[in-house]
Structure 1
Amino acid sequence: MTITLDHRAINQSPLALLTASEARMLGIGLGVRQYARVRAGIYVARAAYEKLPGWQRYAVRVHAFVRKHPDAVLCLESAAVLLGLPYFNEPKDIHVYDADRSASRRFGNVAVHTGADPRAVGDVRGVLTTSPVDTAIDLMRVLPLAQGLAVADAAISPKQQGFTSVRGMRDLGLSQRNRRGRGRMNWVLDHADDRAESPAESVSRAVIGWCGFEHPELQREFHYEGEDDRVDFLFPSVGAIGEADGWGKYDFDDPRKAEQHLRNEKRREDRLRRHGHAFARWDLSDVWKITPLVTALRAAGVPLKHPRKTAKLASLKSRPREKPYRARETT
């Protein structure tokens, strides 16, 4: 089947890939100061590569792998790059699905997966991946809970990918013979919400609950001064508003659009404050650290209603599938 791309899908390498043979033809020297090897025989400009956020470095690595292995079927985080599903920071491994293997194997930083449960395979502009729903379920089984929740929300949200439903994922997941990560998958599906509009909102919602704060309403609309304003979170007992900022919403790749968005956002926040709403604002890096998010919510008067879930909060620091990070990032 052919898979329709989501706008978050990275369907080509963020940097130009240069093979060793192409470099020889062009008379380009592949000195280590100028070029970084991202796959055997494939290079990119080092300075540009090192400036990329982790999730884009991973996309470069995935596309370099596909350049070398065009018939491979990507799965898990590697498929997420092409499908537009959330993945976080820079995953360590390239993940490939091979139904014909008798056992999963690792070849350096390439993990080749198989299993008793078959995966549907689709084509994304000439690149083979496991299907969106199979990829989502596989990720929910292995990712930390907050990240898995971001994947589930993206899969069901019409403002994100919206290619399936909770019931559809649960039915498929429970029909699989593989029991690894089933409890994790069930928790994620129990808490998924199709109103979430970004991974930052999904992770924030999980951490807000684990910290013991009042459960917020999502995407509440207000009508003040002739304007319609929709907010990420409303904490109903105190009327406080929470906003999970993501750089993408401000179009920082286009400075003029970014400037206009920021001006509009300032007017919007001032308008909501004039009508009695305290405001808490944070970004995803604040959520991973926990304390800045807690400080912002307390300053806005958001009440604590439940005991703190220490074990689940500790899971935010468990990132075994990622390379060491500079800052928490997501697509």
Structure 2
Amino acid sequence: MPTDPPLPRIFTRSDALAAGLTRHAVAHRLATCRWRTIGRGAFCLQQQWDAADARSRHVLHVLAESRYDEGLVISHESAAAVHGWPVPWAGYSLATFTDGRANGKNLRSAHRLVRAAPLAAPDVVAREGLRVTSPARTAADVLRHLPASESVAMVDVALRLGQTSRAAIDEVLRRQAGWTHVPRARLAREWLDPRRDSYLESSSFALLASRGILPPLSQVHVYDAAGRFVGIVDGLWLPEGVVGECDGRSKYDLDVIGRLDPVEARRQILREKAREDALRSTGLGVVRWGTYEVRHRLDDLATTVRSALARGGLTRFTGQLRWSSSPTDLVDLRRYPPSSGS
């Protein structure tokens, strides 16, 4: 099979001809599906497409659409994809850009969305030769336009990677005062926590916060009365002393267990059961849930969490809480006094 000359990630017929391929060679590659059509008159290698995940495929679409106007800046969830943030639960829709030159309405076509909005100099950065909104501007934009269940999960990753900071996001939101959905963004900003280490954690606690349940402390290290390590919990509500584990129950689901070796499935169930028992033995309450509960039974989950919080209290807790494995990095429980109803 003849090899291709060096080509960009996204290329056109003209690019291929300029690289030395003949018109017949171009037609043959398209007919034999060695190249894949991306957008209008643009292509990528089929093997590149096959190896790409959802985020990388969206970036390829964005690259194809960006060829038509070099003045546009990749923005919103498309910028998030370029920065390497998680894929939204709902997936990607159109390639999204911001036009800082425009004063009119947003422009939508079958392949892309162009938003008309001012772009300050710090709002635009270069990534692999692309003009893309900065992480801080991207964070502010997704917090404004996406549901908190998606935007908080994306921005948590940006904060954890050190790509931006709360202060930088706040500065962008200050400049966006009066823009669409800024109040929504400011509310969701209060739910951010870079200590979380999964999309489900971030999304779960944002959704529960939208139901009036404030986010718990994240990634707290729990030790028992003898100083033995019990585990790192996804969330811990204080002063109620209730653990939120937002991936635990999925390990019991039959569809998950059915894909495992039976011996390993049994070991996994026993490990999770032993861990939960150890947490409860310290006097902490435990609530577990998986993706199904978050996406399809959120109100029931919120009711369960509220009930656990109402029953909770640190008076029964016999262990120790730390922010890390260091014995001196203690969670100061004096900062979380019991409420009058506890």
TM-score calculated relative to the size of structure 2: 0.62
2:102 counterpart residue number: 101
Paired AA for residue 123 in structure 1: A
Q: In the alignment, is residue 128 of structure 1 matched against residue 131 of structure 2? A: yes
1:231 counterpart residue number: 233
Q: What is the deviation of 1:86?
A: 3.6
Contact 1:79/1:135 (<8 A) preserved: yes
Of 270-279 and 166-175, more deviation after overlay is shown by 270-279
Contact 2:230/2:278 (<8 A) preserved: no
Paired AA for residue 154 in structure 1: V
Report 1:68-217 matches (<5 A): 69=66, 71=70, 73-88=73-88, 89-103=90-104, 104-118=106-120, 120-156=123-159, 160-176=160-176, 178-211=178-211, 216-217=216-217
1:274 counterpart residue number: 278
Aligned residues between the structures: 271
Separation in structure 2 between the aligned mates of residue 177 and residue 230 of structure 1, nearest angstrom: 39
Q: What is the deviation of 1:140?
A: 1.1
1:13 counterpart residue number: none
Give the unaligned 5+ runs of structure 2: 1-8, 249-255, 312-342
Higher-Rg member (1/2): 2
Q: What is the deviation of 1:81?
A: 0.6
1:6 counterpart residue number: none
Separation in structure 2 between the aligned mates of residue 214 and residue 129 of structure 1, nearest angstrom: 33
Residues 198 and 17 of structure 1: CA distance in aligned 2, closer, same or farther (over 3 Å): same
Contact 1:76/1:139 (<8 A) preserved: yes
Q: In the alignment, is residue 284 of structure 1 matched against residue 286 of structure 2? A: no
TM-score calculated relative to the size of structure 1: 0.64
Separation in structure 1 between the aligned mates of residue 220 and residue 266 of structure 2, nearest angstrom: 21
Contact 1:38/1:61 (<8 A) preserved: no
Q: What is the deviation of 1:272?
A: 4.2
Q: What is the deviation of 1:87?
A: 4.0
Contact 1:238/1:301 (<8 A) preserved: no
1:5 counterpart residue number: none
Contact 1:235/1:302 (<8 A) preserved: no
Contact 2:176/2:182 (<8 A) preserved: no
Contact 2:79/2:138 (<8 A) preserved: yes
Separation in structure 2 between the aligned mates of residue 262 and residue 123 of structure 1, nearest angstrom: 50
1:324 counterpart residue number: none
Residues 177 and 303 of structure 1: CA distance in aligned 2, closer, same or farther (over 3 Å): closer
Q: What is the deviation of 1:194?
A: 3.6
1:36-88: CA deviations, max 9, x gaps? Answer: 74422436759x86x99xxx445313313414645553111111111123441
Separation in structure 2 between the aligned mates of residue 304 and residue 30 of structure 1, nearest angstrom: 65
Q: What is the deviation of 1:200?
A: 1.8
Paired AA for residue 60 in structure 1: R
Contact 1:278/1:301 (<8 A) preserved: no
Paired AA for residue 209 in structure 1: A
Separation in structure 1 between the aligned mates of residue 196 and residue 230 of structure 2, nearest angstrom: 19
| Aligned alpha-carbon RMSD (Å) | 4.4
Q: What is the deviation of 1:232?
A: 0.4
Q: What is the deviation of 1:184?
A: 0.8
Contact 1:75/1:135 (<8 A) preserved: yes
Residues 181 and 213 of structure 1: CA distance in aligned 2, closer, same or farther (over 3 Å): closer
Contact 1:214/1:303 (<8 A) preserved: no
Contact 1:122/1:128 (<8 A) preserved: yes
Paired AA for residue 304 in structure 2: R
Q: What is the deviation of 1:135?
A: 0.7
Percent sequence identity over aligned pairs: 21
Contact 2:279/2:286 (<8 A) preserved: no
Separation in structure 2 between the aligned mates of residue 260 and residue 80 of structure 1, nearest angstrom: 37
Contact 1:214/1:302 (<8 A) preserved: no
Residues 188 and 214 of structure 1: CA distance in aligned 2, closer, same or farther (over 3 Å): closer
Q: What is the deviation of 1:223?
A: 2.5
Q: What is the deviation of 1:25?
A: 2.4
Contact 2:242/2:285 (<8 A) preserved: yes
SS of alignment partner, residue 190 of structure 2: helix
Separation in structure 2 between the aligned mates of residue 272 and residue 213 of structure 1, nearest angstrom: 22
